[in-house]
Amino acid sequence: MSFPAESMAGRAVDRGGVPLENAMRTRTSTWLASALVAGSLGLLSAGVADAAAFRVGFDPQFSTTGSFANLGFKGSGTLTLDSGCLAVTGETIVGTGTCLNAVFTSLTLELYNFTDGPGTILETLTYAPPSQPISGGIVSQIVTIAPGDLVGLDTGFFGPLFATAITGGTSPAPLPSGADISLRFVSNFQSYPSFSVAPDVVLQICNTDTDEPVCATSTPGLATVTFSAIPEPATGLLALTALGALGWVRRRRSRG
């Protein structure tokens, strides 16, 4: 059995000549940092498993002919959903199994003169946070091409919201008179005979100036819809904490 050597000052030292109390303090700090790394990574994994968020963008022309052929619209929103909604390939119905929640926490629509381009926004409508009846804007289906890879969704109509007439810029007027505007997302998902999806945004414009509203619907297939995963703030903070602690551990170990 070996015992710590004694220094001239009577303090215990280890075999390398380092005071024993300092060595024990270093080992304790290293252990705590290692535990912090493990704990952060564990929480990181748990956070990813609980929920996910995506940035959804779109930018179509309303139609190529008709009264609203010169109306361009684009928009973006944040979709938050349970990770169970992304667990399988194909279509998942929201409200079933481990996919219980899927909601837009933000959703805006910007209207512009299509000929002049989207550089000048003429009107902005905000659909979420909710400004429509509670029954509107329901996310009903989620479509993934692989687990975690969102490529489409289906919703009810968001809105309607009233938009004033848009007559500025190059003629013809994009929106000749005020109207109620609603929008919804369509995945156009098919599983047979093969997997296919064509995400789209449908805009519905209804003229409320008449006794019987006259509605026009945007031409299908003109929208470009994109989905980009958003790291959660807490997830990023945990990742930075874990990386910082891991770097500290390595530096302590390299010093002996």
Cα–Cα dist 246/243, whole Å: 5
Same domain, 216 and 241: no
Same domain, 145 and 244: no
> Around Cβ 157, how many Cβ atoms within 10 Å?
19
Q: Is residue 114 part of a domain?
A: yes
User: Which tokens hold the place of 41?
Assistant: 């990574």
Q: Is residue 123 part of a domain?
A: yes
pTM: 0.72
Same domain, 141 and 32: no
Evaluate whether 103 touches 80 at the Cβ level (below 8 Å): yes
Same domain, 132 and 210: yes
Same domain, 40 and 97: no
Q: Is residue 216 part of a domain?
A: yes
User: Which candidate, 237, 218, 177, places its Cα nearest to that of 72?
Assistant: 218
Q: Is residue 230 part of a domain?
A: no
Same domain, 36 and 159: no
Q: What is the pLDDT along the chain (256 residues), one digit of tens a residue?
A: 444 444 445 555 445 554 545 545 555 444 444 544 454 444 444 444 478 999 999 998 898 888 899 999 999 999 999 999 999 999 999 999 999 999 999 999 999 999 999 999 999 999 998 655 545 678 999 999 999 999 999 999 999 999 999 998 999 999 999 999 999 999 999 998 899 999 999 999 998 776 777 899 999 988 899 999 998 655 554 455 545 555 545 665 565 5
Same domain, 145 and 211: yes
DSSP state at residue 5: E
Expressed as residue numbers, the domain containing 110 is 60-223
CA 89 to chain centroid: 19
Cα–Cα dist 51/56, whole Å: 16
Q: Is residue 173 part of a domain?
A: yes
Evaluate whether 125 touches 119 at the Cβ level (below 8 Å): no
Same domain, 139 and 100: yes
Q: Is residue 55 part of a domain?
A: no
Q: Using CA of residue 196, residue 201, residue 207, residue 208, what is the dihedral sign?
A: positive
Same domain, 199 and 239: no
Q: Using CA of residue 125, residue 127, residue 128, residue 134, what is the dihedral sign?
A: positive
Cα-Cα-Cα-Cα dihedral of 223, 216, 129, 222, to 10°? 0
Same domain, 74 and 148: yes
Residues 6+ apart with CB under 8 A from 141: 91, 92, 93, 94, 153, 154, 187, 189
Same domain, 87 and 176: yes
Same domain, 102 and 212: yes
Q: Is residue 54 part of a domain?
A: no
Local structure of 239: helix, strand or coil: helix
Strand partners, 141: 93, 154
How many domains would you assign to the chain?
A: 2
Q: Is residue 217 part of a domain?
A: yes
Local structure of 186: helix, strand or coil: strand
Cα–Cα dist 229/251, whole Å: 34
Phi, psi of 213 (to 5 degrees): -55, 135
